[in-house]
Each structure stands twice: as structure tokens, then as C-alpha cells.
Structure 1
């Protein structure tokens, strides 16, 4: 399997995070998702998504979802309801029931040109609390989305730079707070630009949306005590029945480095959580930034023992890279997944918890 060579994320110089190389949209056409086996734009109707997501674009056909690979208990292909392509989006930009949101990492990128009609959400202020280390509050997120015209039946399409890394974070926050129609543009901003599609410098007018964020879904977020329980069980040779996936690069996972060069968020210890397997987030995308086919995605994670038969917890360094894997595993493959957004900067700074350090570094010294 080749390592994607798409542009690096803002969290690391390399897309793997390893610098060493190491709505219902009933009034809209169904998303055309041919790459993942949905022929001619036909999609699975009314599939109940993980975390209660209602199917998007169910009017597109009644073709059955592809069967899962052998040994996997999950048979649905959720991609038809959670991923749209550039062709579908271009045809639906004027649909009042579709809201397009850019979540990019490069400062000023949105202002220099964005998908026409798209609203700009800044991940460091719009999706997180600016006072506490936490996600944005329910009240503040309700206010934000109403200002940008989000209604309960709005189909939200998120996209961004760096292979949709922070667009996936936005999808997690929307889903965490109970929005039912959340999708991601396949290939993100890079795919739109590569096809020569139009960009605009005009920001949309403020909206008057009516959607209200629900209480955060506890089934989508893991906290430190749960992760410590998994780690201690793994350390003692037992199991809690949960798969733990570290999506950082190999050098971070082994403890060779604390964090990618140039980034200040780090921990006093290097390594990974006991029991974790390592599948870098960028393994899920092709060189053009689009998601790999469903069957290939299943194989990538199944090779590390993650096949959907057990609940999954994903983590990275500060939580955002892991949202991309959360999206792949839960929203495309339909697995039961929590995001541990405290991630390594919380766990690696916690006193009295077990750490695996394959590189033999202690306090940064080999």
C-alpha cells in the first residue's frame, strides 16, 4: 500500500503525522458516490447511521449496500450517506437546504477564495472552547450554526484543506451535538481546485437558522478514565473489549519523537497507550486526498485487528487528526467509535498511567 503524498496537515509536516517519513436532502439529487461501489449515483435509502445520523439523499435509489468483507459484522456501506463528491456539490450549491462550510488550517485561505456560498468556520475558535480545553459549548454552537443558517433539515457539507482533516473534526462536533445530516466533500478543497471548479471571495449573508444543538452524545467521546481502564487492562494482559487505535505517525507512536517538528503541544512522555495499534490517519486516503474504497478501508483496519466487531476508541496528539479516522471508521464503515480528543497531550502528561515506549526514550533522552 502506498503512502499518500497529498499536502501535509497543519498538525505535522507529513500527512501521516510523522516528519521522519516515517436534510434529509429529499429535494436534492442523491450524492453520487461511484468510487465506493454505488453505481450510477444510487444510494442506500434510510440507513440508520452510527450515533443516530439520518440518511442523506435517500431518494437516489434502492440498490443494496455492498456486503462487508469476510468476518466483519457490519454490512452497510454508510459512505453514500456521509460523503458527497464534487459533481453532486456543484449541482446543489443553490439548494437552500444545503449548507457548505469550509474548515481549513491555512490562515487567509478562505478569504482568498472558497466554494461559492460556503461559510468559514475557524476550528480554533468555532469548534472549541476558547476558555477551557474542551469542545465548543452546546449554547455557543447553537448560536454559531443559527448565524450561518443551519436548520434541523439542512444538509451540512464540510470541506477543507489538508485532505479534509479539520472538516472531519467539524463533522464530529456536528454529530456530537446531534445534527442528523452531516457530510464531507470527498477530496476536500484540493479536489475542488484540481478540477478547476469556481471559487468565490464573497462571504454569504448571515442566516437565521433554527437548529438547536442537543446534549453531547456520550457514545461519541471518550475521556481519560475510560482510556486508563483500557490501558491497565492491556498492561495486565487482559481486555476491556475495546479496540484502541493510535492514528499518529510511526515515530510518534514508538516514542522516537514527542511531536512533529514545529508544534508546541506535546507531553512530558513519548510513546503510546498500552493496547493501542498504529494506523496513521492518512492511510485512509488516496494520493488525491479522496477516501479509499470501502473494501480497502476495511482491509487496512482489519489487518490491525479492527473489524467493527468491538467498540473502537481513536486518539492522536491533540484530538483533531483522530477525527479523520473517527469519520472513516464510524461514518463510512459504520463501526462503533469514540474519539478520545484529550489524546496524547492529556494521557502523556498524566501522572501514574502506563506508557509504552518502543524507542527507549525517557524524558526525551534515549
Structure 2
């Protein structure tokens, strides 16, 4: 971490989390791809929020409504002024996804524990199987300008046609169209492989170190600005398969590099790869 970050308070260390485990103004949230991990052991005091079962509407492909979001916050002991710190597996993929979802509903103070679950475990920090119970709150959804951080397919098409910055953060073989999914993952319904025309391949994994922590600002700028040619004034759209990996890239560009206009296309390739007449490109 360090003072070089534009928003240093948003990325907190494991030490910081350990020091605030019993702080009533802080709520620690674990959000994983593997929903069984929390039950195997978690940061003491942490609650579990399932990115799919809790945050996703079970009938339509969208997020839950404001009323259900307020219920989740209430049962988790989260008030409007609570500092919510997210962490999880996969170098914080799903933690960033939950962070992004909370921002869609206008929660003000959201943070990410640098290194996520992996670093916490690797450092042999205390874990527990105890599930905490917090007094219910009266959470009121503040609301936010969804269009500031989220974009839909028609707007993505216009973005692509205009030649604006478009980042495909999937693996290289997904980008070229050789694969329809990540290695060792199930095929999730895309009929075609490839990428959105004009997109540049910048795999999400390039933004993190082997221990799960984020790379330094200097290293990140070398990738996104030195190699890709992004500028902080660019209108940037990131996408992946279902929006989870691209939420991590959105977090990096928005909070670690301070880009003011970055949007996540959570429809991503599962939607685009099935759209009738949607243009695609193949190869590098």
C-alpha cells in the first residue's frame, strides 16, 4: 500500500483489519467465489455476503432491489455510516465485486483488505468458525448514480464504435476466442468466442502480486499508461465474463490510480457473446 495511492484509505492492510475487528463502526465482510470457504474459517467478526445468493436477483439477471439490499445490510449489522471492509478469495475478485455493488447502492465508506483471504491465511492470522450476530440496523439506501460506474450493452456498442478505451480483462485465450471460458471453469453459455471490437487485452491478474496484494502505483501506471496508453482523462469501460474480474480492474483504475470515469460492463462476455448481430473480433 502506501501514501502514493490516490485513495489510500480505501485499501487497508491485514494489520488494520486485525486492529479494528471489534470496532463497532467497522464491519468486515467476506465475499468468495467458493462459498464454503467462510465456513472453514474466516476473519474473527467477519460476516458473509454471497455475491450470487445475496446480491444477485434470482429471477432476472440483475442486482437485488434497494429493499433487499437494505435487509442484507440490516442483518449484517451495517449502518449507513459503517465502514465496510471487504476481502475474499481469488485476489479479492469477489470482494471488489461486492464493493462495486455496494457503491451501486450508494454506500459511502467501502474498503478492500489488501491481499484478501490468501494473505491472511498465509500469514497464519487468527481464523474462526464462529458466525457473529450483530444487532439489526435500520439501513436506508442512499442511492447513487448507477450510470457513473455501470454500463449496459447498447452504450458499450456506442463506446466501441467511438473508439474509446475498452479493456478486456479476461485471459489471453478468452480474448482471442480460443476459449469461451477460463481454464478449469465451466462453459457459461457464450455461443461465440472473441472480444468486443476495439478492446485491448489487459488480464486482471497483471494488477496483483503473487501474494494477492495489489501492485504499486508505479507498476500499475507502467501497465495501464505505459503499455496500454490510458490517460486519466479517458472514458474507460472494463469487462470480463460476468463482471467479477472487471470489477477488480475498475477498483484499480478508480481508487488506486484515481481515474474519474471508469465503468464496469457486468453483462460482459456472457451477454455479448450471445447477442444477435453484436460485432465481435477474434485473434490478438
Match of 1:225 among 143, 150, 154: 154
Match of 2:244 among 308, 315, 320: 320
In 2, the alpha carbon distance for the partners of 1:245 and 1:308 equals 14
Match of 2:17 among 62, 71, 89: 89
In 2, the alpha carbon distance for the partners of 1:306 and 1:132 equals 34
Match of 1:286 among 206, 209, 222: 209
Question: 2:71 touches 2:139 (CA, 8 Å); kept in 1?
Answer: no
Mean Cα deviation higher: 260-269 or 243-252: 260-269
Match of 1:298 among 218, 221, 227: 221
Question: 1:248 touches 1:281 (CA, 8 Å); kept in 2?
Answer: yes
Match of 2:197 among 263, 274, 285: 274
RMSD: 1.4
Q: TM-score, normalising length from structure 1?
A: 0.74
SS in structure 2 of the partner of residue 126 of structure 1: coil
In 2, the alpha carbon distance for the partners of 1:136 and 1:295 equals 37
Residue matched to 1:197: 125
SS in structure 2 of the partner of residue 158 of structure 1: strand
Matches within 5 A, 1:205-284: 205-216=133-144, 217-233=146-162, 239=163, 242-260=164-182, 261-284=184-207
Deviations 1:283-342 (A, max 9, x none): 000110000001211221111122322111100011111111111111221112110000
Number of matched pairs: 280
Question: 2:86 touches 2:98 (CA, 8 Å); kept in 1?
Answer: yes
In 2, the alpha carbon distance for the partners of 1:262 and 1:166 equals 16
In 2, the alpha carbon distance for the partners of 1:150 and 1:200 equals 20
Matches within 5 A, 1:9-24: none
In 2, the alpha carbon distance for the partners of 1:221 and 1:207 equals 32
Deviations 1:135-174 (A, max 9, x none): 2222111110011111121110000111111000000011
SS in structure 2 of the partner of residue 174 of structure 1: helix
Deviation at 1:351, TM superposition (A): 1.1
SS in structure 2 of the partner of residue 124 of structure 1: coil
In 2, the alpha carbon distance for the partners of 1:232 and 1:263 equals 31
Question: 1:79 touches 1:332 (CA, 8 Å); kept in 2?
Answer: yes
Residue matched to 1:357: 282
SS in structure 1 of the partner of residue 29 of structure 2: strand
Question: 2:35 touches 2:50 (CA, 8 Å); kept in 1?
Answer: no
Distance 1:214 1:264, change over 3 A: farther
In 2, the alpha carbon distance for the partners of 1:214 and 1:131 equals 24
Residue matched to 1:160: 88
In 2, the alpha carbon distance for the partners of 1:331 and 1:258 equals 30
Pair member with larger Rg: 1
